[in-house]
Amino acid sequence: MRAVVCHGPEDYRLEEVPVPSVGPGEVLLRVSAVGICASDAKCFAGAPLFWGDAEREPYCQPPIIAGHEFCGTVAALGEGVQGIELGQELVSEQIVPCGQCRYCLRGQYWMCREHSIFGFRQATPGAMAEYVRLPRRARNHVLPQGLSAAAGAFVEPLGCSVHAVDRAGIRLGDVVVVAGCGPLGLGMIAAARLRGPALLVALDSRPMRLEVARAAGADLVLDVAHTDAVAAVLALTEGYGCDVYIEASGAPAAVVQGLRMVRKLGTFVEFSVMREPTTVDWTIIGDTKELDIRGSHLSPHSYPIAIEMLRRGQVPLERIVTHTLPLEEFPRGMTLVLTGEESIKVQLVP
Ligand SMILES: [Zn+2]
Ligand SMILES: [Zn+2]
């Protein structure tokens, strides 16, 4: 089968590899669609998992087939698989928990120490290929009939958006700011809309994305390239600041901006995959504002909600998925994601 194999930074090759075999408890999917994620772009660019510990925590384990946001048709079932039938359309959560580490044993599977994520770790080759094997411990979800392949491959990013919004603990009447209208930020806007905020504000520097943010449910969109967003949000809130700030832009400047924009005792959720480190004055977190700073990672218990949102049409998917390319055009897809100028979500169809 054809597959996009990551051999290292900026070295992804379209190769012919064997179709994976399935053992007991495993499932083989014929991939219907697979998205290119900001984390794929970060990996492609050669960034470490996080700065300061690059040696111990490489971003991925090459050579490996990339791709973690996918859906596919069940093509083969290993012995003992239950609740899944041949021909069904399936998604699988991006992380395959080990089931044995401290986090897994405590039910915090998205923090699994092994952290086998499709397309990044040797145990879990990804889905930028004609077929992908779902290991025994994969967390699979059957898709409702009639859901498009584009929607199926968007369940993973939308699940991450749902989790970030859960972490934000939005309450009725909150003023909520989402910084960054990429695929994840747009999903957060759609999910935050369902939480009943008094005012939902979207920030980005690209007008095309801000338009889609409106379609996703933003009450107000601000172009940070041409507006003083901090001043604007303070003016909207009698000088207090927003109740909740969700950082989903990947830009270090958006962290500083958020700390200035959020009110005292407010909540700041950090979601971004940053390509560079950022520096802020931590005094503001404690001494000045007593903020709740919360991280958000992956999409625990969020897939069923994301699937239902897509089924109900609560996400302007046709405007978020801007490019659908054949697997062969992976290099163009990666360039589109890296620049982000004309694309939002790029998906590949093997
Ligand atoms: Zn992703
Ligand atoms: Zn584990």
pLDDT digits (tens, 9 = 90+) for 117-126: 999 999 999 9
Give distance in angstroms: CA of 1 to centre of ligand 1: 23
Q: Is the pLDDT of residue 147 over 90?
A: yes
Give distance in angstroms: CA of 136 to centre of ligand 2: 14
Q: Is the pLDDT of residue 54 over 70?
A: no
- Band of pLDDT at residue 277, cut at 50, 70 and 90: confident
Give distance in angstroms: CA of 106 to centre of ligand 2: 9
Give distance in angstroms: CA of 68 to centre of ligand 1: 6
pLDDT at 274: 81
Measured distance CA(249)–CA(156) in Å, rounded: 18
Give distance in angstroms: CA of 116 to centre of ligand 2: 9
Measured distance CA(213)–CA(206) in Å, rounded: 11
To the nearest whole number, what is the mean pLDDT of the chain?
A: 95
pLDDT at 51: 53
> What whole-number percentage of the chain has pLDDT above 70?
97
Give distance in angstroms: CA of 241 to centre of ligand 1: 31
- Band of pLDDT at residue 55, cut at 50, 70 and 90: low
> What whole-number percentage of the chain has pLDDT above 90?
89
The residues that bridge with 28 in the sheet, in sequence order, are 76, 133
The secondary structure of 77-96 as a DSSP string is E-TT--S--TT-EEEE-SEE
pLDDT at 264: 98
Among all bound ligands, the one having the nearest atom to the CA of 109 is 2
**Domain assignments of the chain as residue spans, ordered by start:** 2-154+315-349, 160-295
Give distance in angstroms: CA of 70 to centre of ligand 1: 9
Overall size of the chain counted in residues: 350
Residue in 261, 107, 248, 102 with CA at minimum distance from that of residue 178: 248
- Band of pLDDT at residue 45, cut at 50, 70 and 90: confident
Which CATH fold would you assign to the domain 160-295?
Rossmann fold (3.40.50)
Give distance in angstroms: CA of 97 to centre of ligand 2: 5
**Backbone CA torsion sign across 121, 127, 128, 129:** positive
Give distance in angstroms: CA of 239 to centre of ligand 1: 36
Give distance in angstroms: CA of 100 to centre of ligand 2: 5
Q: Structure pTM?
A: 0.96
Residues 6+ apart with CB under 8 A from 31: 67, 70, 71, 72, 127, 128, 129, 130, 131, 132, 350
The widest CA-to-CA distance across the chain, in whole angstroms, is 63
Give distance in angstroms: CA of 237 to centre of ligand 2: 43
pLDDT in tens, 163-219: 999 999 999 999 999 999 999 999 999 999 999 999 999 999 999 999 999 999 999
Instruction: Tell whether domain 2-154+315-349 is in CATH 3.40.718.10.
Output: no
Phi, psi of 283 (to 5 degrees): -55, -35
Among all bound ligands, the one having the nearest atom to the CA of 37 is 1
Phi-psi bin for 217: left (phi > 0), alpha (psi -120 to 50), beta? left
pLDDT in tens, 67-94: 999 999 999 999 999 999 999 999 999 9
The one-letter amino acid at 324: T
Ion ligand 1: protein residues whose beta carbon lies under 5 Å: 37, 69
Residue 8 token pair: 């290292």
Give distance in angstroms: CA of 168 to centre of ligand 1: 20
